[in-house]
Amino acid sequence: MFRIKELRNRLLFTLVLLSVYRIGAYIPTPGINPEKLKDFFGSASTSGLMNMMDLFTGGAMRNVTILALGIMPYISASIILQLMTSVVPTLEKLSHEGEAGRKKINQYTRYGTVAVCIIQALMLSNQLVKGGVNLIPAPWFNIIVIITLTAGTIWLMWIGEQITSRGIGNGISLIIMAGIVSRMPVAARMLWKLYGIGAGESRPFWQAVLLIFMFVAVIAGVIYVIQGQRRIPVQYAKRVAGGKTFGGQSTYIPLRVNQAGVIPIIFASAILMLPAALAKVIPESLPFLRDLFGYFARGGFVYLFSFAVCIIFFCFFYTAITFNPVQIADDFKKSGAFVPGIRPGKPTADFLEYTMVRLTVAGSIFLAVIAVTPMIISEWLQINPMIASFLGGTGLLITVGVMLDTMQQVEAHLLMRHYDGFMKDGKLKGRY
């Protein structure tokens, strides 16, 4: 990888910016009492919302650093804009205007990110004031926290865009992955304390074996499904022009089993953070709403069911946005290509849509099961959710999916310059 100058520069640029991000995750927000902060989060350590946000921010939420909100407000704003694009005619028109329209939608997403940051920072600052964490009077403390955390998220969003354009991989996904991976040593230490030599608690050894088996099985399963594809054969018709024969080749369209990747997991997690957050700020005078949103506490049945449904929904939603069978069928017709046994035009579009729906059903159910199972295991074995998150579930799905994406981009750079590839003995590029 480091023999190619352009690829080496991209890799080093990505690593430097991710390192800067991790340094920023330790810079504290002004006006906070660290001792009371420790007590505040100690009492809220069982909160599913805090654990989830802490996972995605790499520990920045628990320490209330300048990057405490992480990149999730940007993800939330992206979800809102993508949903509105399908409903609002003006935004739908912008989405079809090419690069100019995409830039305009990105600008709206940034404005939306600022709005989401202000709301989330205000909620967090109010909770900190209730916990007596502030060193300065409440109104000024709220203003400082809102400005600091909003600026931190916007800066993080800029870092992600720089990595995407000048580095390697998707910057936003890499930032989320870096935050998750940074918690792995903590989870490993917790696991060792539970099952290691001289562990404080008497835990059966089979539980440790089960957790390790889950870790390996989920990684293998995620790779198998993310890399899996249905190859639709395509034949190009022969045509004669100027005494020469063109076409006649056979190729295929690779339809991925999991077309959406890890995006549905990220979107579903961001959506389900909202009810749990609202349950903490709704006044006690509205007990019905507090109880209603309280049902979405992480680990409960309502949360697990809603999480699975959201994952399946976003799998279909994202696939519908990124895969257009009508456009593909029209391109085939214009270039003289056809799927053997299927008539060109609408029958081809219907066949591609039917095939992709069947693949998406299998892929979405797999993602939902993998994401939900570790939460059930965590409740069953009574282990810390942080440990479970790395032995399957959201954290591992995102990490493996983002790493596969990044490796494929590195592979493309290597193959473009006639190198053997990233792996000599793997199936990353389908050498079988």
Asked if the model's pLDDT at residue 432 lies above 50, the reply is no
How far is 270 from 123, CA to CA, in rounded Å?
16
| Strand pairing report for 250-256 and 337-338 | unpaired
Asked if the model's pLDDT at residue 111 lies above 60, the reply is yes
- Inter-residue contact 325 to 353 (CB < 8 Å): yes
User: Could you write out the three-class secondary structure of 127-166?
Assistant: HHHHCCCECCCHHHHHHHHHHHHHHHHHHHHHHHHHHHHH
Helix (H, G, I), strand (E, B) or coil at 229: strand
- Inter-residue contact 34 to 194 (CB < 8 Å): no
Report, as an integer, the average pLDDT of 62-75: 87
pLDDT in tens, 368-426: 888 887 777 777 777 766 676 666 666 777 788 888 888 888 888 887 776 666 555 55
Q: What's the pLDDT at 431?
A: 40
Q: What's the pLDDT at 157?
A: 92
DSSP 233-258: EEEEPPEEETTEEE---EEEEEEETT
> What percentage of the chain has pLDDT greater than the value 70?
81
Asked if the model's pLDDT at residue 46 lies above 50, the reply is no
Asked if the model's pLDDT at residue 222 lies above 70, the reply is yes
pLDDT in tens, 265-316: 777 877 777 776 666 667 666 676 767 766 666 667 777 888 889 889 988 9
pLDDT in tens, 164-190: 999 998 888 899 888 888 888 887 787
Q: What's the pLDDT at 20?
A: 92
Q: What's the pLDDT at 17?
A: 94
How far is 51 from 55, CA to CA, in rounded Å?
6
Q: Which domains does the chain have, with CATH numbers?
A: 1-182 (1.10.3370.10), 184-432 (1.10.3370.10)
Residue 32's DSSP bridge partners are: 134
pTM of the predicted model as reported, rounded to 2 decimal places: 0.76
Helix (H, G, I), strand (E, B) or coil at 28: strand
Least confident of 87-91, 120-124, 345-349: 87-91
Average pLDDT of the chain to the nearest whole number: 80
DSSP 286-339: -HHHHHHHHTT-TTSHHHHHHHHHHHHHHHHHHHHHH--HHHHHHHHHHHTEE-
Q: What's the pLDDT at 298?
A: 61
DSSP 42-99: HHTTT-HHHHHHHHHHTTHHHHTBTTTTTTHHHHHHHHHHHHHHTT-HHHHHHHTSHH
